[in-house]
Amino acid sequence: MGRHKEEKKKPFTFVDLFAGIGGFHQAMRYLNGTCVLASEIDPDCQNTYRVNFPDTLLEGDIAAIEPLNVEPYDVLCAGFPCQPFSKAGYQLGFQDPTKGNMFFHVMSFIHANHNLKFIILENVRNLADKKENWEIVKAELKKENFLITEEPIILSPHEFGIPQVRERVYILGIRKDIADEKKLQYPCIRLKDLHLEDYYKECKPDAALSILEPSESVSDDYLVPDDIVEVLDAWEEFRIGTNLKKIGAPVWICAFGLGIEENYIFYYRSGYWRMPKWKQRFYEKNRALYTANREFIDKWVKKYHMTGRSKIHQKFEWNLGMDDVTMKDTIIQIRQSGIRCKRTNYYPALVAMVNTPIVWDDNKNAYRFTTPREAANMQSFHGRYHLVGDDKTIYRQLGNSVNVRVLKILGERLFGLEATKND
């Protein structure tokens, strides 16, 4: 029996700051926690939170809350805004004039509560990529007499057998005077102190399919539209008709040089010499693919009117190497970078932007989008959790949320670092 099954969960209290739709709340509730205060400014998230946690005091803007007025609590949880640090944003960090100071609102709560035992913070991994941002976080937490994770703890659900690649940085803290010196022999929390090896689990080849709901419970509203199906069928025909597996780069129709015989003319017209090296390699590989399959590709482009389609639909990426499978055996995403096919061991990171994964449904004999409930499964949300709002809103909320199981594991391991009264 694993270590994590032997420990009895003690009751505790916590606050849930930048609460979103309650990912932290679910994790802490699993560990026998009671929420004394939640704070979330987004009205849609507030609606979802209230439906699922009706007995919790939920406030809005964290800046309007006086931390000294909050009743004492044991654990502070916060997934403070990631936009200042995210690669999808401007990466201004703490210099962001609108959201960069949200971390310091968290610090005001920590400073106000002298009974606080533990801190659990979550953010995008890019927070730890910039040393100046990470140093600010460490310095501020140390001022409050906490032992913390001085080195970034970067984890993804797929490391625990949960079929989603979603790297996040977790910042854990325990008040110095309650830490077990036998378990923490250094003046900080190290990854090895958490004994996460008890939970590590490799995703099986079809793990991503395990989070899908029974086909009969999925509405036909989630079937992929005919025009998108035609594009997917076109690329499947292309994949079969060319030696695509060996190209080792995304396929870009714009990089074929359609109808151009001489390579030097194509490279001249495309502006190849002004391109960065990585893009030159893409063009070289695509040009070689085209010249080796010119007759097939010319007919294929005309048959499916490919040059008249959206630029997104003119790009294709096969991330399965030499696997002997078809597109129906993959997870498909239509992204700004094009149509991408991946193995079924795990999903790409669920993000707030809507680029919902597509799967083949054998029972429906059709491609369909993964549903909001399946997106919730990716985030380890409880099966009885109520999703509120239209699909776009729900996908956005889940994309901004945290993985419940990963937080439950980290919370359990962190709480185990407290010295017992018998020590």
What residues act catalytically? 82
| Nearest C-alpha neighbor of 249 from the set 289, 291, 296 | 289
Q: At 334, which helix (H) or strand (E)? A: strand 331-335
Residue (of 102, 108, 78, 58) closest to 16 by Cα position: 78
Angle at 389 between CA 385 and CA 394, to 5 degrees: 65
Residues in the chain: 423
114 CB-contact burial (10 Å; exposed 0-12 / middle 13-18 / buried 19+): exposed
Give the CA radius of gyration of the chain.
25
Question: What are the two backbone dihedrals, phi and then psi, of residue 94, each rounded to the nearest 5 degrees?
Answer: -75, -5
Q: Which two tokens stand for residue 167?
A: 């790297």
- Report which residue type is found at 78: A
CB 333 within 8 A of CB 357: yes
61: CB partners within 8 A, 6+ apart = 39, 41
> Cα–Cα distance between 193 and 173 in angstroms, integer?
12
- Spatial separation of the C-alpha atoms in residues 122 and 88, rounded to whole Å: 17
One DSSP character per residue, 393-420 reads HHHHHHHTS--HHHHHHHHHHHHTTBPP
3-state secondary structure of 123: strand
